[in-house]
Structure 1
Amino acid sequence: MRTYLDLVVGFARTGVTGYGGGPSIIPLIEYEAVKKYKWMNEDEFGETLALANTLPGPIATKMAAYIGFKVKGSAGAAVAILAHILPSSLAMMVLLGFLYSFRHSPVVKGMVTGVSPVIGVMLAVLAFQFLTKSKKTMGSKWMAVFAIVSFLLLQGISLHPGIVIGLFLVGAFILSTYKIKKDQGWKAPVMQERERQL
């Protein structure tokens, strides 16, 4: 029962405090899932985020569904999704009329402008963490190549993020397979020499 309560509290917080939707919620979900409740480690969170980006639908809802399922199966997925969606949905319905009447207010516009840099910093910190992990696992050279190419694909020709992620998943698979075969090819003669000595 405690785990269900943690799912409710954790994803209710992401739903209520995730101002700006979509990408701005990802650092909040990472905090709850990785740092606070330790439902997964940073590497698994990064893999989940990459795969979620290749599927249709809101990214935060997909993340909530996967994490809830990982923690408590189908019931956990349902609890996480509802906890993430319901608080902000109810608040939106209650406050919609009130906020709509002040939509041209300079105060409201100032609030939106003031929150935007915070969201940018959170996303930058998350991006830096992913780049640091990539550097450790694939080396500085390949990390830089992948980062530059992905930037050009996303910003230069405006390719859909899901397609870019799919391309890089295939590229990473090919690169990993090549490295493994290269290492095995280098180790094979050593193993053969040892077998001869035995």
Structure 2
Amino acid sequence: MDSAIKRGSYGQLTWAMLKTGILGYGGGPSVIPLIRYEAVNHYRWMDDDEFGEVLAIANALPGPIATKMAAYLGYREKGASGAILSVLAHILPSSIAILALLAFVDALSSSPVVQGMIVAVMPVIAVMLGVMAYEFVKKAYQGLGKFMVVVFCAVSFALLQLVPVHPAIVIVLFLAYGAFHYRIVDRVRTNRKRNEGGVS
């Protein structure tokens, strides 16, 4: 299977973002696995590493995460016109649907059928997010090592759940560390070699 990065067309951007806009259910984070599938697995516009980097940066910026990802993908493939097209294709399905159903929102929100649909789709969203999180952790393990992944997971959990700190601040802190990670690793290895050489 050819895994080379490919360039997207306007038609592909439109169709991909329409699908994420129609099938995305439960807010921005639940749409990210769909966008990742289109960009990484289906059309191969980028690899997992780039997607993870873009997702981290987008999370640190204000605004809805799914819309920011759609704008980035469109801009990356077709410039400013691609960004506009991608965002419009992503938000139009839900915008049209909410306007069309506005008169029925109150009735639908208390409908047992709608409540059942919401409850039924939640496990699917949870599994999609879990699979994506697992793949990101696996990538982190390859780049950081087992010990650092465990430490970072524990620190991020503590900051987000126990303190709690705003997620954007946590993301910025980890991005800042990531910018100097390999320099720090090289420095530690160099010092270790010097110490070993001095001992011997």
TM-score, length of structure 1 as denominator length: 0.89
Which residue number in structure 1 is paired with residue 55 of structure 2? 49
Instruction: Give the whole-Å Cα distance in 2 for the aligned partners of 1:126 and 1:36.
Output: 15
3-state SS of paired residue (1:102): helix
User: Any residues of structure 2 matched to 1:54-65 within 5 Å, and which?
Assistant: 54-65=60-71
When structure 1 is superposed on structure 2, of 132-141 and 178-187 the one drifting more is 178-187
Which residue number in structure 2 is paired with residue 191 of structure 1? none
User: Any residues of structure 2 matched to 1:125-164 within 5 Å, and which?
Assistant: 125-164=131-170
RMSD of aligned alpha carbons: 1.8
3-state SS of paired residue (1:57): coil
- Alignment match of 2:182 (pick from 157, 176, 184): 176
Instruction: Give the whole-Å Cα distance in 1 for the aligned partners of 2:133 and 2:156.
Output: 13
Larger Rg: 1
Instruction: Give the whole-Å Cα distance in 2 for the aligned partners of 1:187 and 1:156.
Output: 39
Instruction: Give the whole-Å Cα distance in 1 for the aligned partners of 2:146 and 2:173.
Output: 20
1:81-111 C-alpha deviation (Å, 9 max, x unpaired): 0110111111111123234323212121111
TM-score, length of structure 2 as denominator length: 0.88
1:3-24 C-alpha deviation (Å, 9 max, x unpaired): 0000000000001100111100
1:8-64 C-alpha deviation (Å, 9 max, x unpaired): 000000011001111000000000010011111000000000000000000001001
2:86 maps to 1:76: no
3-state SS of paired residue (2:109): coil
- Alignment match of 1:119 (pick from 125, 141, 147): 125
Instruction: Give the whole-Å Cα distance in 2 for the aligned partners of 1:103 and 1:67.
Output: 33
Which residue number in structure 1 is paired with residue 16 of structure 2? 10
Instruction: Give the whole-Å Cα distance in 2 for the aligned partners of 1:121 and 1:176.
Output: 32
Which residue number in structure 1 is paired with residue 5 of structure 2? none
Instruction: Give the whole-Å Cα distance in 1 for the aligned partners of 2:43 and 2:157.
Output: 33
- After superposition, the Cα gap between the structure-2 partners of 1:185 and 1:73, relative to the gap in structure 1 and judged at 3 Å, is farther
Instruction: Give the whole-Å Cα distance in 2 for the aligned partners of 1:173 and 1:93.
Output: 44
When structure 1 is superposed on structure 2, of 66-75 and 95-104 the one drifting more is 95-104
User: Any residues of structure 2 matched to 1:10-49 within 5 Å, and which?
Assistant: 10-49=16-55
* Identical positions, percent: 51
Q: For residue 185 of structure 1, report the CA deviation from its aligned partner.
A: 6.7
Aligned AA (1:164): V
Provide the aligned length of Structure 1 versus Structure 2: 187
Q: In structure 1, list runs of 5 or more residues that go unmatched.
A: 189-198
Which residue number in structure 2 is paired with residue 194 of structure 1? none
